[in-house]
Structure 1
Amino acid sequence: MASRRTRALSVFLRVTRKRGMATPEKARAAMAEPVGAHTPPGRLWRRHRVTSRTVDGFPCYTVASRTAPESGKVVIYVHGGSFFREISWWHWRFIDRLATAGHRVEVPIYPLAPQYTYRAAQPFLTSVYRQVLGDVDAGRVVLAGDSAGGTLALLLAQSLPAAGLPAPARLILLAPCLDMRLANPEIDQVEAVDPWLARPGLLKAGRVWAGGDDLGLPALSPINGPVDGLPDIDIFVGTHDILYPDARLFAERAGAGVCFIEAPGAFHVYPLAPVPEAVPAVKAVLSTVDAL
Structure 2
Amino acid sequence: MHSFSQRFATLIARLVQKPLLALVRSPAIMRRLFTLNAIIGVRTPKGLTLTPLRLGGRTCTLCNMGQRHDHGTLLYIHGGAFVIGNLRGYRHLVAALGQRAGMRAVFLNYRRAPEHPFPAALDDAEAAWRALVADPDTGPLSLAGDSAGGNIALALLHRIIAKGLPLPAAVAVLSPVTDLRLLNESLAANRRHDPLVSTRWGARGVAAYLNGADPEQPEASPILGDFTGAPPVLIHADTTEVLFDDARLMADRLRCQGVDVTLACQTGLPHVWHMSVGRTPEADASVAEVADFLAAHATKAPALDSRPPTL
TM range (shorter): 0.7 to 0.9
On the 8 A contact 2:177/2:243 being kept in 1, the answer is yes
2:291 to 282, 286, 291: 286
- Structure 2 equivalent of residue 258 of structure 1: 261
Identity %: 29
On the 8 A contact 2:13/2:270 being kept in 1, the answer is no
**Correspondence list, 1:98-137, <5 A:** 98-101=97-100, 102-136=102-136
- Structure 1 equivalent of residue 68 of structure 2: 69
Q: Which moved more, 1:248-257 or 1:134-143?
A: 134-143
CA–CA distance in structure 2, aligned partners of residues 61 and 123 of structure 1: 18
Q: Which amino acid aligns with 1:285?
A: V
Corresponding residue SS for 2:226: coil
- Structure 2 equivalent of residue 209 of structure 1: 209
On the 8 A contact 1:181/1:203 being kept in 2, the answer is no
CA–CA distance in structure 1, aligned partners of residues 188 and 146 of structure 2: 22
- Structure 2 equivalent of residue 33 of structure 1: 29
- Structure 1 equivalent of residue 302 of structure 2: none
- Structure 2 equivalent of residue 87 of structure 1: 86
On the 8 A contact 1:237/1:270 being kept in 2, the answer is no
Q: Which moved more, 1:265-274 or 1:7-16?
A: 7-16
Label 1:60 to 1:5 Cα distance change in 2 as closer, same or farther (>3 A): same
- Structure 2 equivalent of residue 229 of structure 1: 229
CA–CA distance in structure 1, aligned partners of residues 9 and 65 of structure 2: 31
TM-score relative to the length of structure 1:
0.88
CA apart distance, 1:106: 1.3
CA apart distance, 1:178: 0.8
On the 8 A contact 1:74/1:106 being kept in 2, the answer is yes
CA apart distance, 1:184: 1.1
Label 1:27 to 1:225 Cα distance change in 2 as closer, same or farther (>3 A): farther
- Structure 2 equivalent of residue 189 of structure 1: 189
Aligned length, in residue pairs: 286
Residue 241 (str. 1) matches residue 241 (str. 2): yes
TM-score relative to the length of structure 2:
0.83
CA–CA distance in structure 2, aligned partners of residues 42 and 270 of structure 1: 16
Q: Which amino acid aligns with 1:107?
A: F
Deviation string, structure 1 residues 204-247 (Cα, Å, up to 9, x no partner): 11011101112332221111111212211001111221111221
RMSD: 2.7
Corresponding residue SS for 1:133: helix
**What 5-or-longer segments of structure 1 have no aligned partner?**
none
**What 5-or-longer segments of structure 2 have no aligned partner?**
299-311
Label 1:2 to 1:106 Cα distance change in 2 as closer, same or farther (>3 A): same
